[in-house]
Amino acid sequence: MTDRYAVIGHPISHSKSPLIHKMFAEQTGQDISYEAIEAPLDGFAATIERLRAEGYKGCNVTVPFKFEAYRLVSSQQRARIEAELAKAVNTLSFLDDSQIFGDNTDGIGLVQDIQQNLKVVLSGKRVLLMGAGGAAYGVALPLLNAEAKLVVANRTEDKAFELASRFNADRITGCGYEALSGQQFDVVINATSSGLSDELPPLPPGIFAPGALAYDMMYGRETPFMRFAREQGAAQVADGLGMLVEQAAEAFYIWCGVRPDTVPVLAALRG
């Protein structure tokens, strides 16, 4: 019987996830269906209940429901550590005993994309993570697990301190943008929402070390940060499409126990 999955968001019509999971399923021979479902803003929990009642096996969760999805599973201690630290869930698994398990595969997806697809090893590298909102929280732990030396910079400095202290590790520090003057990084990741308003975080010039990677977690168009990185001579400039495919692959693995090959899928999406 076909196992049913979905992605839930609002809005959701632009989502590439159904196409990505269809390609994964074809490639691995898994018998699954995957659709995009728009939940009303006040109807996330009801939508999850409906899917469970209809026998779905799991779903991905996207904007603006990741925190609600976390709350749903955290009260029963059914959130994996990445989700617990991020306070955000992007992958729900509906288990046979009627429990729901929550994961956050965003950070693993980012690390996979950087290391496997872009061929940048993170261990020992100086990594600047810009932003201290949900997107930054979602990726901090996997970056630390990859042994990066992490600096979190945020416009509202206090939030960067708070993020850094949440992880309680000596390889992560928080700061404002002014403190970055004179520093260089091997990897600079934009986890702010600045691209949505066509803005650039206030980065000082000279921030990119020789051979540096500039990574914007947004995809779909060139952001001011990506333009800045090219002008400043970053060796590689990447958008977040690879992260999207890799986080989907991790969710697919959680559900189906099979790891898809992401290379042809990413190539197909890039056209």
Question: What tokens appear for 4 in the block?
Answer: 């049913």
Q: Which is nearer to ligand ATR, 241 or 258 (CB)?
A: 241
123 is in an annotated binding site: no
Least distance (Å) from ligand ATR to the CB of residue 228? 12
Q: Are 48 and 59 in contact (CB under 8 A)?
A: yes
Q: Which is nearer to ligand ATR, 65 or 255 (CB)?
A: 65
Active-site residue identified among 57, 66, 125, 149: 66
Residues forming contacts to ligand ATR in the complex (CB under 6 A) are: 131-136, 154-156, 159, 192-194, 199, 201
Q: How far is CA 31 from the centre of its chain?
A: 26
Give the helix/strand (H/E) hosting 82: helix 81-86
Q: Which is nearer to ligand ATR, 90 or 194 (CB)?
A: 194
Least distance (Å) from ligand ATR to the CB of residue 246? 18
Query: Can you name the residues that pair with 172 across neighbouring β-strands?
Result: 150
Q: Which is nearer to ligand ATR, 136 or 151 (CB)?
A: 136
Radius of gyration of the chain (CA): 18
240 is in an annotated binding site: yes
Question: What tokens appear for 6 in the block?
Answer: 């979905």
Least distance (Å) from ligand ATR to the CB of residue 64? 9
39 is in an annotated binding site: no
Q: Which is nearer to ligand ATR, 201 or 242 (CB)?
A: 201
66 catalytic? Reply is yes
* Residue number with the smallest Cβ distance to ligand ATR: 133
88 is in an annotated binding site: no
Nearest to 104 by CA among 131, 144, 148, 134: 134
Angle 95-100-17 (CA atoms, 0-180°, nearest 5)? 90
125 is in an annotated binding site: no
CA distances from residue 157 to 27, 80, 143, 224 in whole angstroms, order as listed: 45, 28, 20, 22
Q: Are 131 and 174 in contact (CB under 8 A)?
A: no
54 is in an annotated binding site: no
Least distance (Å) from ligand ATR to the CB of residue 179? 14
Query: Can you name the residues that pair with 100 across neighbouring β-strands?
Result: 94
Collapsed DSSP state (helix, strand, coil) of residue 52: helix
Q: Are 197 and 220 in contact (CB under 8 A)?
A: no
Just list the catalytic residues.
66
Task: List binding-site positions for shikimate.
Answer: 15-17, 62, 90, 106, 219, 247
Task: List binding-site positions for NADP(+).
Answer: 131-135, 154-159, 217, 240
Task: List binding-site positions.
Answer: 15-17, 62, 90, 106, 131-135, 154-159, 217, 219, 240, 247
